[in-house]
Structure 1
Amino acid sequence: MFIALAIHGLIILGIVFAPTDQSAASSQRLEVTLSHHQSDKAPKDADFIAEHNQIGSGTLEEEKQLLRNATAILEDTQIKPAEAIVVPQEAQAPLTEIPPNARLVTTSGDSWFTMRLDQPEDELPTEESKEPQEFTMEMLSQEIASLEAKLHEHQQTLAKGPRVLRLTSVSSMAAADAQYIHRWRDRIESIGNLHYPEEARRSKTYGDVRLMVSLNANGTVEEIRVLESSGKDVLDNAAIESIRLASPFEPFPTSLAEQYDRIEVIRTWQFRKDRITSSR
Structure 2
Amino acid sequence: MSIDTPKPDVLTLSLFGAAVAHALFILGVSFDPLLDDIRTPPSLEVVLVPNNSDSMAPEEADYLAQHSQDGGGESDEASRPASPFASNQDFDTDGVAPQPVRASAPAPVEQRDRDAITAVFADEELASDDQQEQNEHIEAHRDKDLIEQDLEIAKLAAEIDRQREAFAKRPKKKHINARTTEAAYADYMYRWVEKVENIGNLNYPDAARRRNLTGALILIVGIHKTGEIESITVDESSGHKILDDAAKRIVELAAPFEVMTGKLAEETDILYIVRTWEFQSGNSITSY
TM-score range with shorter-chain normalisation? 0.3 to 0.5
Scaled by the length of structure 1, the TM-score of the pair is 0.46
Name the structure with the higher helix share: 2
